[in-house]
Structure 1
Amino acid sequence: MRPEYSPINHSLCFALVILFAVGSAPFVSARQETDNPADLMRVGDKVIKVNDAISMVTGFGNTFMVKTDEGNVIIDTSIAFHASRHKQLLRAENSGPIKYIILTHGHGDHTGGVRLWKEPATQIIAQKNHSEFMHYQARLAGFYARRNAAQFALQIPAPGQWAGNYGAKIEPTILFDDKHEFTLGGVRFEIYSTPGETYDHLTVWVPKYRAAFVGDNYYTSFPNIYTLRGTQPRWALDYINSINKILSLKPEIVLPSHGNHLQGAEEVNRRLTRYRDAIQYVHDEVVRGMNAGKDVFTLMREIKLPPELNVGESYGKLSWSIRGIYEGYVGYFDTNPATMYEAPASSIYPDLVKLAGGADAVARIAMDRAQAGHAVEALHLTDVALAADAGNRKALEARLKALETLRDRCRNTNERGWLDYGIKATKGKLGMN
């Protein structure tokens, strides 16, 4: 039987990013930092009543319920690993029929509970690009399963049967282009296409409560414009235009799908405006640098947010976003003829090692760099040494030192996950696991 890719039955669905993107991280709240990304993989344990009609449960991904006199609307369903508990908590608040499920986008930490919440008469709403986005995720399910497992310290799965190019299960019964609206129990729901985190992203606006459900287009960290597990381009200008659309509604409550909600018109406007302006600043600085002939690594080093726009980097990170913007616009080719060809720079690393006097000699330099705090340079040097001698103990020890140095410094959950992955792999080669 062909395995069907869906947030319900995929064995690693609870590791999808968004996340958080497909970015995407295990969230308590992006405004909090953590020593270990896995520590954030916790289920919401209580209902938060935003007002008399809106309730939510937080977790890896939040689940929202909007009550009406004619039934309830569920907005996002969290990750499959958490969805049952979220449903139990919200159903204790109100057991009315589920008339609609609205998916802000197709990441697994938003769609994971669809089949748990769906009733025979439930309509499921998504933006029309949802179908292609789900097919894209299914198309690369094996790739992302390995990436997610690596980032979140899970067992690497055995390759499954390929679902094909169009093998995803499409759950929504209503797909719309720019805008969709309905009224339930006297409450109007307006749904707008707001691409950003994904191209199928939407925002739910409930005018009666001045409430905007914004999915992953806002959280309390610089956004994951590029996510390390891999993603299609996330266009900075899409984020900006979508946030402007939300601001034009003049919301008094903003409910992101990760972390806590924002309340109060002034606070909402301040937070969203600052967030938008931070993205705009980074985008425009990258474009200016590109037009001035600067390479991507120079821009990654040079561009910093001014203090008044510093929204934090506990989830997304500026340097990754800068590279994502740059290569999203023009691709990987850097005008160096060597990069046109299939032989990578690493193909001549063994020759460099020979010239340096052997892998031990390169490893000594790497350890010196690591001990001096130049951990990234040390990693590059160990790449060179290990290309010539994959089991060289001195190179592996220098690599471990560099990775642990970087982990001790980092305050970003995604970065921490990949450093932990590298540390575990290196310790395994040293026989330390």
Structure 2
Amino acid sequence: MPQTPSLFRTPTALAMLGLAAAAAPLALVGCEDTQREVELRAAEAMGGIATRVVASRSEGQGGHSADFIQIPVEVRKLGDFIYQARGVANTQVIATSQGHVVFDTGLAIQAAKQRRLLREALPEAPITHVILSHSHQDHAGGTRFWVEDGTEVVAHREYPEEQRYLKQLEDYFWFRNRTLFPFMPESPPKTGMFAYGNVVPTQLVDQPNRLEFSQGGVHFVVLPTPGAEGSDNLCLWLPDEKVLFSGDSFGPNFPQFPNVFTMRGEKIRKPIEYIASLEMLIELEPEMIVPSHQDPIRGKEQIRADLIKMRDAVRYVHDATVAGMNAGKTVHELMAEIALPTELELLQIHGKVSWAVKSIWEYYATWFHFDSTTELYAVPLSAVQPELAALAGVDAIAEKAAAHVAAGENLEALHLLEVSLAGDPSHRASLETRLEALANLLHRAETTFNNSYEMDFLKYRIRVTKEALGAGS
């Protein structure tokens, strides 16, 4: 299975705003079609164009994130009555004689095509339930295309609040995501069929309760599993078939170390909640996991071993962080010290142990680290960096930074270069040294944990530095 994290952990759909003019797509359908079919065909046509444009922008970008948009939208059968439409995110349908149950609805620009291909593969029946694993756009973006009269939309009790804040901070999160993924459109769609939000659940599920129902000879159990991708996570369990639909409860790879608190933003995630969710899933003993990204995982014994390893790894990092806090160690000391023991080593291409340490620290201790009086006030260190540069001399600081880079101390160099570039943003020696330090950090990231977010941010900083050097030449 390719080890590729999700393309978008963003609250908004990928869409090209210039495609909002629907006249051309609407011309593709005949007057005998219903209004719903008109909308679906228009959505598929516009979504196809948007997907191709974004895919072309991502070519040559490198890294894990750019790979996801290249996944073809196609349908495959995973069991006697389980179907999946692939794409940036997967949509699953459990087909029964009394109606179909949909789990996750994919990215908005691909959802209409996923729906059409699934409908062509499925026996004719109404959509009785749409179950959403959580409120991220790549999992809930196509909900409007699936809901019919009488369809139950099932989500976690926290879903409305998660959707609210993601929508309210849509522009802020879009900017941060586009910093990491420059092939994204310049701004999010605010209206129309690809706009984020407006999902209204008809049934809400919350721990410790479960939603259970039987339909067409299949028993369904909807499980609240908060912690992995936010507080509104759900899984779907088919106990008779031993199949677990996991959404993003494990992230885009399995097994991996999770994003306890993602660097791109969003509300903090609770590590103890996640450990409890993993323990509940371990007890189920699934024989197949169907995630909403990438491929199914099969094999009861291996799945159990991997789930236990994930649980124990998160618990180890949590407990080591708490012990270090009680011992009086600083957050940076613990970020440098805490590592997974050999028997608990996991992929860190999505989440990262050192970031989890910082996340857990701030989850318990909040934003004030008791390190400096100035933490309490609105004057940052950057406010006096130009004065420091003037006192020490920009050339001298840049020379010292270059010595740090030569000694393999790239982070120390970057600290100094923030001062020299505050004094002279176009100082060529400082920019050249920063470029070298960033390239060294990127090489280390690529040859160690291969963390997608770390590499994407370093590439962004390298682009900015090259642009500054080009402007000054």
User: What TM-score results when the alignment is normalised by the length of structure 1?
Assistant: 0.86
Q: Distance in 2 between matches of 1:330 and 1:100?
A: 41
Structure 1 residue 190 corresponds to structure 2 residue 224: no
For residue 77 of structure 2, the aligned residue among 26, 41, 49 is 49
From the superposition, tell whether residues 155 and 200 of structure 1 become closer, same or farther in structure 2 (CA, over 3 Å): closer
Give the distance between the partners of 1:131 and 1:430, measured in 2 at CA. 46
Structure-1 separation of matches of 2:297 and 2:469: 48
Distance 1:321 1:58, change over 3 A: farther
Equivalent residue number for residue 355 of structure 1: 391
Using the TM superposition, give the Cα deviation of residue 168 of structure 1 relative to its aligned residue in structure 2, in angstroms. Answer: 4.9
Is the CA contact 1:44–1:85 (under 8 Å) kept in the aligned structure 2? no
Q: CA deviation at 1:375?
A: 2.2
State the one-letter code of the partner of 2:277. Answer: S
Confirm or deny: 8 A CA contact 1:236 1:279 kept in the other structure: yes
Contact 1:142–1:160 at 8 Å: present in 2 too? no
Instruction: Find the partner of 2:272 among 218, 222, 237.
Output: 237
User: What is the CA–CA distance in structure 2 between the aligned matches of 1:373 and 1:81, rounded to whole Å?
Assistant: 45
Helix, strand or coil for the counterpart of 1:204?
A: strand
State how far apart, in whole Å, the 1-side matches of 2:326 and 2:443 are: 36
Q: Which residue in the other structure is 1:63 paired with?
A: 91
Counterpart for residue 201 of structure 1: 233
Report whether the alignment pairs 1:215 with 2:247. yes
Distance 1:143 1:73 in 2: 34
2:377 partner letter:
Y
Does 2:99 match 1:82?
Answer: no
Which residue in 2 is equivalent to 1:130? 159
C-alpha change, 1:200 and 1:155, in structure 2 (3 Å) is closer
Which amino acid is the alignment partner of residue 282 of structure 1?
A: V
Q: Within 2, Cα distance between the matches of 1:396 and 1:57?
A: 47
Instruction: Output the TM-score relative to the length of structure 2.
Output: 0.79
SS at match of 1:217: coil
Q: 1:83 to 1:364 in 2, by over 3 A?
A: farther
Distance 2:347 2:14 in 1: 35
Rounded Cα–Cα distance in structure 2 between residues aligned with 1:350 and 1:8: 40
Equivalent residue letter for 1:146? F
The DSSP-based 3-state class of the residue aligned with 2:286 is coil
Aligned identity (percent) is: 38
Does structure 2 retain, via aligned residues, the 8 Å contact 1:55–1:64?
yes
Corresponding letter in the other structure for 2:93: M
Structure 2 counterpart SS, 1:209? coil
Letter in 1 for 2:96: T
The Cα offsets for residues 96-124 of structure 1, whole Å up to 9 and x where unpaired, read as 33221110110111011112222333221
Distance 1:9 1:419 in 2: 23
Residues 314 and 160 of structure 1: CA distance in aligned 2, closer, same or farther (over 3 Å):
closer
What are the equivalent positions in structure 2 for 1:258-273 lying under 5 Å apart? 258-273=293-308
Q: Is the aligned partner of 1:172 residue 2:207?
A: no
State the one-letter code of the partner of 2:376.
M
Question: Is the counterpart of residue 344 in structure 1 residue 355 in structure 2?
Answer: no
| Residue 205 to residue 229, structure 1, CA distance change in 2 (3 Å) | same
Match of 1:386 among 415, 421, 437: 421
Structure-1 separation of matches of 2:89 and 2:197: 21
The CA RMSD measured in Å over matched residues stands at 2.6
How far is 1:339 from its partner?
Answer: 1.4
With over 3 angstroms needed to count, the CA separation of the structure-2 counterparts of 1:51 and 1:236, relative to structure 1, is same
Displacement of 1:147 in angstroms is 0.5
Which residue in 2 is equivalent to 1:401? 436
1:72 aligns with 2:100: yes
1:275 is aligned to 310
Q: 1:129 to 1:338 in 2, by over 3 A?
A: same
- Runs of 5+ unmatched residues, structure 1: 13-25, 27-33, 162-166
Which protein, 1 or 2, shows the higher relative CO under an 8 Å CA cutoff with sep ≥ 6? 1
Q: 1:334 aligns with which of 369, 375, 383?
A: 369
Deviations 1:168-227 (A, max 9, x none): 523322222332122221211111211012111111111121111122221332101121
1:153 matches 2:189:
no
- The answer on whether the counterparts of 1:44 and 1:86 sit within 8 Å (CA) in structure 2 is no
Is contact 1:7-1:111 (8 Å) kept? no
Residue 32 of structure 2 aligns with which residue? none
Per-residue Cα deviation, 1:378-401 (whole angstroms, up to 9, x for no partner): 222221111111222221121122
Q: Secondary structure at the match of 2:135?
A: coil
